[in-house]
Structure 1
Amino acid sequence: MKKDILYILTGNTVLQVTSLLSSIIISIYYTPKALGEYSLIILTSSILATFYTLRAETLILIEKSTSNIRKTYSFAKNFSTILFCITTVMTILSIILLKDYYFMLFLPFLSYTIANQLIERELFFIESRFKEEAIISGSKGIINNILQIVLKSFTNALIVAKLISEASYVLVAKKRNSYNNNFNLIETYAYFKKNKDALLGLTGNRLLQNISNNGFHYITSFYFGLSTLGLLTLGMKLIQLPGNMLGEALSKIFEKYQQSYSEREYKTFTIKFYIALFFISIITSISIGIVSYLDFFHLLPKQWGDISKIALILSPLTIPTITNAFIISCYKISNKISKYNKIEITEGFSKSITLIAFGIKKELNTYIICYVTISLIFSIFKFLYYIKNNNSRFISTSK
């Protein structure tokens, strides 16, 4: 178990480091507008990827038999292929009619590769091949960084680099995994008919999460333009990087050590762990705020001139970034993740409604402060709600 956690954390660390390198490369070779366009394409592709699989990949982990795993895997692969063909035709027709927006052609291809990556990744997890998955994920990030530099002179270079790196993961994972799928429309329809309630429920919930959580990006691009969205996207990546690394690592530590506490001790241990984590997140947030205030980001090209000011306002986001991974672990341990998802959806729509109202005034600083404030309030609320409504665990506490 220790090795599994280590592999997961190592893989996550490599991903975060490659994400940092990607941010540096983008700031040197690309404009804020290019990053803004890239962000919207990736977010839209991720939403489409939810339709491509109907979240069937999440069912792979709970299947008991090899036969059922194979059926679920085949359905996810086949259904994603069907929707890929349909959306590609629709996209081509749209481009012909609009006589513009050629970048839209990337959408079905990116969505298809993202969907297939999610499917293949679950096979690594169900077979506990964490080390192998971590190596492939890390390699994918490195390939993406190299291509961002090599292709910098080409149009839509960021999108092309992302597409190739995602495809490389799928191709390698497909070769390494032992499951194969035969394209069969009748079997695909039969599986959907049998599991449609679970599939549609998972898809609907995920779509609500995606739309509510990513509304910020679409609203920002509408009110302030793609360049501002690019600045905010880079600012968030820089701010959340240490939070993602710390939060994921500390949440895994919590998941491991909570097993050594009795049911009576669990609640006290959880509260103490949260207080310690909250204190760490505040120190990290203040540190990032000081770095931003002292304008350490002035080394970036002039086109990113406002990044220090934006990073300073965004710095409190480090607090929910660090604590949220731990809070999710708490809800999972008590088998209450559906409650967490509902709160997260409420948070997303609360942000969207507030940002739409404040975005009209076109005051960027106030707009960002509203986003940060709501994030902090809901982060604290999620934990307080958990503590008030959960006094026990439902996952076995045996070592």
Structure 2
Amino acid sequence: MTQTMRWFGPADPVTLANIRQSGATGIVTALHDIPNGAVWTRDAIAVRKEMIEAAGLAWTVVESLPVHDDIKRGVPEAAKRIDAYVESLRNLAAYGIDTVTYNFMPLLDWTRTDLAWEMPDGARALRFELVAVAAFDLHILRRPDAARDYAPDIVAAADARFSAMSAGERDTLSRTILAGLPGSEEHFTVAELLTAIQRYDGIDIDALRQNHLAFLNAVCPVAETLGIRLVVHPDDPPFPIFGLPRSVSTEADVAALFMAVRSPANGLCFCAGSFGVRADNDLPGIVRRLGDRIGFLHLRSVQREQNGAFHEAAHLDGDAGMAAIVAEVYALQQRTGRAIPMRPDHGHQMLDDLNRRTNPGYSLLGRMRGLAELRGLERGISHNFRWLK
């Protein structure tokens, strides 16, 4: 695997020099200062690429080139948004970018309810708790008819949770849920989120899928001629949230995308954490069966809890079964002769990073630990593979 780390640009507290010392050879980044839907110019791309290469690192993977909400909703403005997307792809291809990550989640990227959940060893992890989401949805967001989307026991627990929370705790929960992705181009207030959700009235999972296919049918032919593989990141969490549909949550969802749009430019960002939230996703099997379409790997593990909760586990722990995943990736690379870009995802905040400003999930030391563990795992599998031959 080609070892990379995500970098959020010049404002990231983790520097390029830090990343190079971790052993990574590549950078995964995006132009977060450019609003969603605007064109990424060649000049802006060139400045970022020169900065990365001056640090002795390579940039061939974008994460992410956002898909504007107009495209996801399939409104008339979608056509001009797609035109801008295509222009950005052309500009990226001119600078050697061959993998572009995107997602098709309405409004919010990954959602968590605690950005500093304390682990038994004192490190801090990201955590999702459905009861906390319901408390926010029912009592802070006050989405009409939200109670219909939760089991009665979750509603009762959410009512009790909200009643017991202080004003400060309620504010922290709101800010955590609204945080979305570190470096995200879109930010909402509670009122703005409610308004944005209401714009999705009438858009169910089938409509969202059709809008996704329309996007791919428009963009993939151009990406194919440019030598770019578009890789879709699965939903995180992989189920509907706040009444919004989500349509890239299972192997069947992804396989249907590949069947509908057969272009080799239509690929997958395999995220072990996102897929791993669902016990019905067979993670090694996804790599084995869909591996030819995988263009990028997010290797992390979650520990599933009761009532839909989960937290980010150490990279080799939790429910992912990382050894089996990496073994399938190694076999895939041997079969295809290509090295797939990989990054350790959502590391724990630990050691000196506990006292530093960090992007949630993207502190240096936790990811460096994950990268070292994954590197060692791959080398062990490689050695065993050659010995068996």
TM-score normalised by length of structure 2: 0.24
Larger Rg: 1
RCO higher in 1 or 2 (8 Å CA, sep ≥ 6)? 1
The structure in which a higher percent of residues are strand is 2
The structure in which a higher percent of residues are helix is 1
